[in-house]
Structure 1
Amino acid sequence: MSDPRVLLDIDGPIASVRLNRPDKLNGVDLALLHELIAVSRTIRADRSVRAVLLSGEGRSFSAGLDFGSVMSDRTRMWRGFVPNPLSGQNLFQHACWTWRELPVPVVAVVRGHCYGAGLQLALAADFRFTTPDAKWSVLEAKWGLVPDMSGTASLRELVGGDVARRLAMTGEVIDGTTAHGYGLATGVADDPAVPARDLVDAILTRSPDSVAATKSLLNRTRHARVRTAFAIERRLQLAMFRAKNTAAAQKAGAKGETPAFGPRQFGRG
């Protein structure tokens, strides 16, 4: 039996997800795509999980699509392009975007290579912390392709149109410091796991329902009309007023105490 392509460890409220093909610089093959989706479903179903740390085993986050492996089974590859009629996402898109759709924040820790499919996976996280010398690239341009694993939706959200076009059209390789300057990375550090964990610890002090609802609110209103955005705000706020974790936060806040939250109730499980 082959080793799992994606490792999942749950320690209390934190799920650690690690791409596990270090000998291939965590190159993405079809099996890894399916495992990313399966692991995200496991996390979604576990209401005790309140944050995800996403990283790669070995010296790289991911060097991108493993073309040799994927192209060796063209029937499965082409089948992977067929979109789900309900979500409108195909296999390649869903494996990345499922992390944006999780009802808990996802924080990517980037070292080494962050190319192509790996970059699009990192961009689908809610936050990204990188080493200064990590290598980032929308590498599809090198192969005469376009970013097609949800990358265009992420790029247009994070950077200006001219920067998105430059990165996608040239496939140039930039370092982590430049990625941070462009807005692709949330922060840069010699050990990016440290600020990533600091952010997670800060989020854990807040109601898991409030965090989940806020993520949903920002995702759903990103391109909504103002009237629609206001309606979504109202519905989510009413849900928060009824949440037990809201009452716990307010009670503890009034007493100057640290709240004791129960499992997440908001968001699909």
Structure 2
Amino acid sequence: MTSRDTDATTDATTDAAAREHATATTAATGPAATAADAPVTISYEEIDGARIAVVSLNRPAKLNGLTMAMLRGLDDAAATLRRDRDLRGVIFAGAGNSFCAGLDFGSVLKKPMDIVKAFAPNPLAGDGANLFQRVCWEWRRLPAPVIAVVHGHCYGGGVQLALGADFRVTAADARWSVLEAKWGLIPDMSGARTLADHVGAEQARWLTMTGRELSGAEAVEVGLATETTESLDDAHSRARETLRELMGRSPDQLAATKSLFNHAWRSPRATFRAERFEQAKLLLSENAARARTAAMKKTPPNFVRRGTWAFGAKKK
């Protein structure tokens, strides 16, 4: 479990860049929630005519400290977006002055049984993840690319949420820390896997044992983040530029790439089997055919929705 008590307050300002780019359509997760009061929100934008989603942690007055409602909201958001075959990308951000300062112990400890239930693994899930692990890992399983935009505090569970994304663009003044060490705990929201994936086992041990706080530039240096920008607005712009670049690739190829590298820690036999399986699907996909045609003709590809088979697609 993450380890930051986030009772400190900040100005409840809304992320200016996200507000600038967001469309008028905003879907809030959770029962009877509105865009203003939902702990997690989804808004939609278009980049070059393709739809992306912006998932925002929406508890700015508490540095987006995680509550049980936020965990459930993240779980619901990931499930909703996973079903959207037309979705081409996701930006994952935090409202206000911070990305996420970790678990809000003051909130979650009010209902200890909720923690017990959330900590129990799901026997029906193939990976056996519990709720804490699932809200971070599901972004890896999402077929579309996910980019986390990090600013302000990124502590404990916030680090693990960011590591669930495919890429992380961090503002220079962001502060990163695997803060569980302060509380005598370990990162248990899939962090044992994602930390080692991104920084290697030695750095993962060092960060987890020390809990050292890193700047945005230092986070890039050790491998926690992909790149750094001067400001939060620049980070949002860079995330959108990256998604625009990725839209030049087949959405099926992007999904297969994510799936393939999720198998990287398995045995060579399992990894090679995953390679064969994903490549076979791509060879039968309409988007792979369109990518080949566009490459040969040196024209921009006109991709269709993810998961369309070549033998069943309408030709344009």
> Once the two structures are superposed, what CA deviation does each residue of 1:108-166 show, in whole Å capped at 9, x if it has no partner?
00000000111100011111010112000011111121111111111111113232112
Do structure 1's residue 239 and structure 2's residue 281 form an aligned pair?
yes
Report the 3-state secondary structure (helix = DSSP H, G, I; strand = E; otherwise coil) of the residue aligned with 1:15: strand
- Of the three residues 30, 40, 51, the one matched with 1:6 is 40
- Of the three residues 180, 186, 192, the one matched with 1:146 is 186
Do structure 1's residue 257 and structure 2's residue 306 form an aligned pair?
no
The equivalences for 1:91-130 within 5 A come to: 91-130=131-170
- Of the three residues 48, 52, 60, the one matched with 1:22 is 60
Partner amino acid, structure 2, of 1:160: G
Question: Displaced runs of 4+ in structure 1, greater than 3 A?
Answer: none
Do structure 1's residue 205 and structure 2's residue 243 form an aligned pair?
no
> Once the two structures are superposed, what CA deviation does each residue of 1:53-112 show, in whole Å capped at 9, x if it has no partner?
101011110011011000011111111111001331111111111111111111100000
Partner of 1:62: 100
Quote how far apart the aligned CAs of 1:44 are: 0.8
Partner amino acid, structure 1, of 2:238: P
- Of the three residues 229, 232, 239, the one matched with 1:196 is 239
Report the 3-state secondary structure (helix = DSSP H, G, I; strand = E; otherwise coil) of the residue aligned with 1:146: coil
Using the size of structure 1 for normalisation, the TM-score is 0.95
Partner of 1:38: 76
Partner of 2:174: 134
Report the 3-state secondary structure (helix = DSSP H, G, I; strand = E; otherwise coil) of the residue aligned with 1:192: helix
Using the size of structure 2 for normalisation, the TM-score is 0.81
> Once the two structures are superposed, what CA deviation does each residue of 1:216-261 show, in whole Å capped at 9, x if it has no partner?
11112x1133333223222221211111111111222222211111
Partner amino acid, structure 1, of 2:121: P
Quote how far apart the aligned CAs of 1:18 are: 0.7
Give the unaligned 5+ runs of structure 1. none
Q: Which moved more, 1:245-254 or 1:45-54?
A: 245-254
Q: Which moved more, 1:39-48 or 1:2-11?
A: 2-11
Change in CA separation of 1:233 and 1:115 when aligned onto 2, cut-off 3 Å? same
Distance 2:153 2:136 in 1: 17
Do structure 1's residue 187 and structure 2's residue 227 form an aligned pair?
yes
Partner amino acid, structure 2, of 1:185: A
Give the unaligned 5+ runs of structure 2. 1-31, 309-316
Partner amino acid, structure 1, of 2:117: R
Distance 1:150 1:229 in 2: 20
Distance 2:141 2:277 in 1: 19
Distance 2:274 2:139 in 1: 21
Q: Which moved more, 1:253-262 or 1:56-65?
A: 253-262
Distance 2:265 2:113 in 1: 36
CA RMSD of aligned residues (A): 1.4
Change in CA separation of 1:91 and 1:228 when aligned onto 2, cut-off 3 Å? closer
Partner of 1:226: 268
Aligned sequence identity (%):
49
Report the 3-state secondary structure (helix = DSSP H, G, I; strand = E; otherwise coil) of the residue aligned with 2:255: helix
Distance 1:224 1:95 in 2: 22
